[in-house]
Amino acid sequence: METFLPWPETGLICLSVLMAALLRGLTGFGFALAAVPAMSFFLPPQQAVTMAVLLQCMAGLKDSVTLRGTWHGPVLKRLVLGAAVGTPFGVALLLLLDPTMLRIGIAVMILIGLALLVWQPKTGLKPPSMPLALVTGATAGFVGGFAAMPGPPAVAYFLTTDIPARQVRASLIIFFFTTSALALPGLVWGGLVTVQTVAMALVSLPLMLVGTWVGGLLFKRTSETGFRRLAMLVLLATAIASGARGMAGIVG
């Protein structure tokens, strides 16, 4: 008889969420980049993306209260407006692609994200461009709907601006929450949000919150450069593993 929350799959998913949350606490971003490919080993990729969206929506409710007033309002509004346009197209692609191609797509998104994380602007930091924020929001929304990974375009945008780090971190966290909320109706309409998926997200939510908190404590005791390198190594490993699994599905 099939159980509602099968073991050991649920335990492994919770472990994946915890480890991804530690990365989120250490680096300030990257939860979906780590969680989606890790959960894809135990869930269909579409369900892994849905889980990441649900968790980011749940955690974002808390973040929107604790970070109130610390984000960059003008940029955030334009990012969200752009994301509202791009997200439905990303969700449509998620519903159309088969699991094999989705795993490869997720691997590509991670590799692009890693490239952007190590990239540094060659020119000096400038005031934020509002038209570019709209384009960035649309791109991030598309990627967020497709793979729950709106981070790479948004992070790349903020790297070129002179916005203070505190505002950048708060703006990114709230933006990720917003893109997840925008993607959620499409996932519901597509039948990906089920009672079992919601239950699994609720079970793993405390681990996400605890992991983020512990990661933040560890970050204060260790250099930022060291933790960025560690996060990138973990993400590279998950990208290779996810891509290899997708290629194995194509080969046979």
What would the pLDDT profile of 53-82 be if each residue is shown by its tens digit?
Answer: 999 999 888 888 888 888 999 999 999 999
List Cβ neighbours of 46 (8 Å cut-off, separation of 6 or more).
Answer: 94, 95, 99, 102, 192
Work out the average pLDDT over 24-28.
73
Domain-wise residue ranges, the chain: 33-251
Helix axes 73-96, 165-189, angle to 10 degrees: 30
Mean residue pLDDT of the chain comes to 82
Q: Cα separation of 174 and 168, whole Å?
A: 10
Cis peptide preceding 8, ω within 30 of 0: yes
* Model pLDDT, residue 242: 65
Q: What is the CA radius of gyration of the chain?
A: 17
pTM metric for this prediction: 0.79
pLDDT in tens, 129-159: 899 999 999 999 988 887 777 877 887 788 7
* Model pLDDT, residue 29: 74
Bigger pLDDT: 29 vs 45:
45
* Model pLDDT, residue 201: 94
Structure tokens, 229: 């390198």
pLDDT in tens, 202-240: 999 999 999 988 887 877 777 656 655 666 676 677 677
Q: Which amino acid is at 95?
A: L
Q: Cα separation of 201 and 217, whole Å?
A: 24
Helices within the chain (DSSP H only):
9-27, 31-39, 45-66, 73-96, 99-118, 130-147, 151-159, 165-189, 195-221, 224-251
Q: Cα separation of 39 and 18, whole Å?
A: 11
pLDDT in tens, 179-207: 889 889 988 998 999 998 999 999 999 99
Percentage of the chain modeled with pLDDT above 90 = 28
